Amino acid sequence: MGFKEWIIPQEKHFFCLLDQQANVVLEGAEALLDMVKDYNDIAMKRDRMKDIEHKGDDLVHTIAEALNKTFVTPIDHDDMSKLASRLDDILDYMESAAHRMWAYEIKTIPPEMVKLAEVVVSSVRETTHAVKDLKNFKRRNEILQHCIEINRLENVGDDITHTAIANLFKTKDVLEIIKLKEIYEHLEMATDKCEDAADVIKDIFIKNS
């Protein structure tokens, strides 16, 4: 039986909610990139990230309640709930990175951090597309292509982070090291969580195709 045949209205509703959530995560990624690229009005931009994160939280709760109230759907509830939770993790790490830029009074964003934020945005964009393709079923190749790209970007993000932190240690400015290291790690965790989301998406796709 194909993916299309058994899809039912209830499922469509969940996919719409996941779509909305993925869009909010992408909105957060773009706000983050704007923040590091045009590093002004930091308090305002950090508040914007916080607002986007709250919007994401509300959607997670809506999805959780909808899942808890629905008893039989072909797609595994746990997978849906796991996917919503991974998407939320991505947003949380981006928000906590932005928050630390403001709270730790970071004066300038190092170029490697801008590069890492660009990787985060690319990875979130792929993740958003993969979530959308999950709804539009039958796009097997497209979904797998997004997942492969997310994996590749996670490795790129890893390498940028490792090099940046190794270089950071050479500066000997301990307070800056502690602060920037933590921000790099939160950004890198965002790409890790994209990979976790991609794993759930692949699982859902394989189980249902």
In the chain, what is the straight-line distance between the N-terminal and C-terminal CA atoms, in Å? 8
Nearer to a second copy, 23 or 100 (CB): 100
Give dist(CA 39, CA 33) in Å, integer.
10
Q: Is 209 helix (H, G, I), strand (E, B) or coil?
A: coil
Establish if 148 lies at the interface with a second copy (CB under 8 A).
no
Establish if 179 lies at the interface with a second copy (CB under 8 A).
yes
Give dist(CA 89, CA 82) in Å, integer.
10
Least distance (Å) from a second copy to the CB of residue 42? 13
Establish if 1 lies at the interface with a second copy (CB under 8 A).
no
Q: How many residues does the chain have?
A: 209
From the list 21-29, 109-117, 131-139, 168-176, the region that binds a second copy by CB under 8 A is 168-176
Give dist(CA 182, CA 161) in Å, integer.
11
Nearer to a second copy, 6 or 169 (CB): 169
- Amino acid of residue 30: E
Establish if 140 lies at the interface with a second copy (CB under 8 A).
no
Least distance (Å) from a second copy to the CB of residue 23? 23
**Residue count, binding to a second copy (CB under 8 A):** 22
Q: Residue holding tokens 């939280």?
A: 57
Q: Residue holding tokens 């090099």?
A: 163
| Interacting residue ranges for a second copy, rule: CB under 8 A | 64-65, 68-69, 99, 103-105, 162, 165-166, 169, 172, 174-175, 177-179, 199, 203, 206-207
